Amino acid sequence: MVPTATCRVCAGTVTEFMDFGRQPLSDAFRDPADTSEEFFYRLAVGACADCEMVQMMEEVPRERMFHEGYPYYSSGSSVMRDHFRSTAQKLLAEHAAGDDPFVVELGCNDGVMLETVARAGVRHLGMEPSTGVSEVARDKGVRVRNAFFEKATALRIREEDGPADVVYAANTFCHIPYVDSVLEGITALLAPGGVFVFEDPYFGDVSEKASFDQFYDEHFFLFTATSVRNMARRFGLELVDVERLPTHGGELRYTLAREGSRTPAPAVGALLAEEDKRALTSPEVLSSFTRRVGENRERLVEELRSLRDQGRRVVGYGATAKSATVLNFCGIGPDLLEFICDTTPAKQGRLTPGSHVMVRDHGAFTDSYPDYALLLAWNHAEEIMAKETGFRDAGGRWLRYVPDVRTT
C-alpha cells in the first residue's frame, strides 16, 4: 500500500510519490572530530488529493534546523545580492508609498534584502530565529528579532509596531509546516490594504527539470499557484499576483491580499490555467517524475564510478543544502568526490552531512583544477560559469545532473 499522511494545510489525504530514504539534516555540516551520532529522518514527499499541496510526509523539528550555527548566508551569491536589492526597491515603490510605512520580513537571514530598506530609512523588522546569520544583518543596520514568526510573535509585532504594509518572505515560507499559525499571524499583522509577498522554488520547475534535490528537510512544501490559491482562501486571503523568477532554478513570487481588496492580475488566471493543463499533481505526472529521478540517479552514479575507474579527479562545486539529498540518495561519498569547494567559511573544514565529503575553500579548486567538477550549486550556474572560465580553459569539464546527467 502507498503510504499516506494528513495534509498540513487542509487535513486532506496526502499520498506519497517519492521516497528518498533516510536523510541527514541538509545543513548539519560536521566537525571531523565529532563522533556523536548523526540525526536522520525519512525524507518522503506526497501530494494532497484535495488542495494539491506537495509536501513532506514527515516533519523535522524546527529547532534542529534553525539555530545559532545555521550555516547558510544569503549574501554568498552576487546574483542573489542583486536580486534582493532590486526586490527591496520594488517592494518600497509598490507597497511602501504612504506615510511611515512598515515592512516585515520572515527569514531575513544576513540582511541581504532588508539592508536596502534600512538604508532608505524605512521602518522595518526582520524575524530570524537563526542568531548567527542575524548578527551580520544587525551589523548592516537591520532591525532583527530572534524568533520564529508564527501567530503569537505576529500579534506581538502588531501590538508594538502597528500594522504592516508588506510582509515579505524569500525561501522561508516553504520551510514552515505550521502554515495556519503563520497565515493567521499575517492576517492579524497586515494593514487593511497590505500584502504578503513570498517567493519559493516552484514545483512546476521541479517537475519539468526533475530537480529532485529541491526536496530536503528545510523545504517542507513545494508550492504551485493552484495550491497557494487554495491555501490562501482558507484564511480569507486571495492570490492577486504571480511572477516567475529565474532564481534558485525556477521560483514563483506570490502576492496575497485580503479577499476582495485587490483585482487579481491577469497572470494569476493564466498560470492557474497552465497548471490545470499540466496536471502537475496527477498520479501520471507524479509517477513519471519519480521514474525520471530514478533514471538520473543511476546515470549519475554510473558516470562518477566510471570517472573514478579511469583515475580522473572529480570534485564537487558548492556544498548546497540541496546536495545533501543528491549525495545521500545516490550514495556519493569521498570514494567518488575528492572534496567539495564552497566559499562559506562556516562550511569549510567540515564534512557534508551523512555523506562525509570534506568541504574546502574555493582556493582548493582553483589551485589545482580537477578533471571534472560536479555542479552541485546548479541553481547558481550562470554566476559560476562566468567566474570559472579558467577551469574550462585548463581542460576541465562540468558534470551536471539537472535536468539530466551530462558533461559540458
Residues that bind ligand TMP (CB under 6 A): 76-77, 318-321, 342-344, 347, 377, 379-380, 383-384
Nearest-approach distance from CB 375 to ligand TMP, in angstroms: 10
φ, ψ (nearest 5 deg) of residue 163: -70, 150
Nearest-approach distance from CB 286 to ligand SAH, in angstroms: 26
Q: Which of 7, 137, 179, 300 binds Zn ion (CB under 5 A)?
A: 7
Q: Quick check: 318 binds ligand SAH (CB under 6 A)?
A: no
User: Could you tell me if 324 and 355 are in contact, meaning their C-beta atoms sit under 8 angstroms apart?
Assistant: yes
Nearest-approach distance from CB 379 to Zn ion, in angstroms: 27
Residue 74 cell numbers, joined: 544569503
Nearest-approach distance from CB 284 to ligand SAH, in angstroms: 33
Nearest-approach distance from CB 146 to ligand SAH, in angstroms: 9
Contacting residues for 135 by C-beta, under 8 A, at least 6 apart: none
Q: Quick check: 72 binds ligand SAH (CB under 6 A)?
A: yes
Bridge-based pairing state of the strands 359-360 and 340-341: parallel
Angle between helix axes 283-309 and 322-330 (nearest 10 degrees) is 70
Q: Quick check: 70 binds ligand SAH (CB under 6 A)?
A: yes
Site string for ligand SAH, 325-364 (x = CB under 6 A): ----------------------------------------
* Alpha helices per DSSP H over 163-265: 179-189, 203-209, 225-233
CA dist 213 and 64 (Å) reads 20
Task: Provide the Cα torsion 22, 176, 250, 256; round to 10°.
Answer: 160
Residue 89 cell numbers, joined: 526597491
Site string for ligand SAH, 104-133 (x = CB under 6 A): --xx-x-----------------xxxx--x
Q: Which of 17, 20, 29, 66 binds ligand SAH (CB under 6 A)?
A: 66
Which residue has 493564466 as its cell numbers? 270
Site for ligand SAH in 163-222 (CB under 6 A): 170-172, 175-176
Q: Which does 384 bind (CB under 5 to 8 A by kind): Zn ion, ligand TMP, ligand SAH, none?
A: ligand TMP
Q: Which is nearer to Zn ion, 7 or 103 (CB)?
A: 7
Q: Within a 10 A sphere around the Cβ of 100, how many other Cβ atoms?
A: 9
Question: Which part of the chain contacts Zn ion (CB under 5 A), choosing from 2-10, 260-268, 327-335, 360-368?
Answer: 2-10
Which residue has 525519512 as its cell numbers? 42
Q: Which does 76 bind (CB under 5 to 8 A by kind): ligand TMP, ligand SAH, Zn ion, none?
A: ligand TMP
User: Could you tell me if 314 and 308 are in contact, meaning their C-beta atoms sit under 8 angstroms apart?
Assistant: yes
CA dist 404 and 408 (Å) reads 12
Which residue has 501590538 as its cell numbers? 159
Please give the distance of CA 278 from its chain centroid, rounded to a whole number: 23
Which residues here bind ligand SAH, judged by CB under 6 A?
Answer: 66, 70, 72, 74, 106-107, 109, 127-130, 133, 148-149, 170-172, 175-176
Which residues here bind Zn ion, judged by CB under 5 A?
Answer: 7, 9-10, 12, 48, 50-51, 53
